[in-house]
Amino acid sequence: MYHSIYGRNRVERAIMMYKNQEPNGYIKPPPGSRTFRELGITANFTLNSLYVEDFENPQMPSRKFIVVRSQKFTVERPKYYFIQIKGNFIDLVSSNRPGTYLGYCSCKDYSRRCKHKRAIEYKIQNNTYDFRVGDTIEFLTLNLKF
């Protein structure tokens, strides 16, 4: 049940978030902004960035975190995850391997590359690369099983 709504694995869930696609049967989260006073940041969510925050934000170059909305955003209390940037944002977005610039994520998935980190990586790679070969194979292999 969980899998058919949110995506079958971390890769598929991350792809859904990256593509601004809501879980099956859910309402798409609306665009909007949210300020986190404790962190001194405001995250903007636009039509093209409904889960991973919009990078067209003057704060980004000095940010230490990227904000990602929960996939359950419209069915539970709106939840946000914070993913640490190791180094600086400009290096992260211009890297061929953005994953190496992503540190801690506040979600409870302790995998090295949780769906939030992957969604950020996919967003960054969008214009230059498609998915990493490993991810594509993982995704295709999974589809063959169903």
- Piece of the chain touching Zn ion by CB under 5 A; list 36-44, 103-111, 125-133, 137-145: 103-111
Verify binding: residue 80, Zn ion, rule CB under 5 A.
no
Verify binding: residue 11, Zn ion, rule CB under 5 A.
no
CA distance to 40, 49, 70, 120, 144, per residue, from 36 (Å): 6, 18, 16, 19, 42
* List of residues 6+ apart from 116 with CB closer than 8 A: 14, 17, 68, 81, 83, 105, 107
Q: According to DSSP H, which parts of 29-101 are helical?
A: 89-94
Q: Select 47 or 86, whichever has its Cβ closest to Zn ion.
A: 86
Verify binding: residue 66, Zn ion, rule CB under 5 A.
no
Verify binding: residue 114, Zn ion, rule CB under 5 A.
yes
Q: Nearest distance from residue 58's CB to Zn ion, in Å?
A: 25
Q: Nearest distance from residue 105's CB to Zn ion, in Å?
A: 3
- Piece of the chain touching Zn ion by CB under 5 A; list 4-12, 32-40, 85-93, 102-110: 102-110
Q: Which of 75, 84, 88, 107: binder of Zn ion (CB under 5 A)? A: 107
Asked if 49 and 83 count as a contact pair (C-beta separation under 8 A), the reply is: no
- Piece of the chain touching Zn ion by CB under 5 A; list 35-43, 88-96, 98-106, 122-130: 98-106
* List of residues 6+ apart from 65 with CB closer than 8 A: 39, 41, 82, 83, 84, 85
Instruction: Supply 65's token pair.
Output: 């975190």
Verify binding: residue 116, Zn ion, rule CB under 5 A.
yes
Q: Select 63 or 116, whichever has its Cβ closest to Zn ion.
A: 116
Of the candidates 109, 86, 103, the one whose C-alpha atom is nearest the C-alpha of residue 14 is 109
Residues that bind Zn ion in the complex, under the rule CB under 5 A: 105, 107, 114, 116
